[in-house]
Amino acid sequence: MLRLSLLVTAIAVTTGVTAQAAQPPRTEEVVAKVSYAGVDFADPAQVKAFHNRLAHVAADVCDSGARELKIIVSDNACAKASLNRAVAELDRPMLTAFHTGAPMTEPDRKLARR
């Protein structure tokens, strides 16, 4: 089974007690494995579905559960960076095009079929 390791640096946040708030947040590396077996990277619909799956995994792993705006912004930045790394690691032209908002062109489809 082919898998992509989605390496995420998640922020573990302490909330509630003022003394704890003064401490720097802890970070931990989390690896989520996302299978791409059976994904046809030449099919725009499958590329979109796989990208959405990657985005959901990154968001889930980076979600600290906090409800403070500053921490939510940090969680979102973590998810975005993790998704960017995963797409770059896979290095599939149509996935990269979808991720960046570039049009998925015919040459991308030909490269994806190789």
Query: How do the domains of the chain map onto residue ranges?
Result: 3-113
Give the rounded percent of residues in the chain with a pLDDT score beyond 90. 50
Position 104 scores a pLDDT of 77
46-62: pLDDT as tens digits: 999 999 999 999 999 89
Could you tell me the pLDDT band of residue 38, with boundaries at 50, 70 and 90? very high
Q: What would the DSSP string read from start to end of the chain?
A: --EEEEEEEEEE---S-HHHHTSPPEEEEEEEEEE-TT--TT-HHHHHHHHHHHHHHHHHHH------HHHHHHHHHHHHHHHHHHHHHH--HHHHHHHHT----HHHHHHHH-
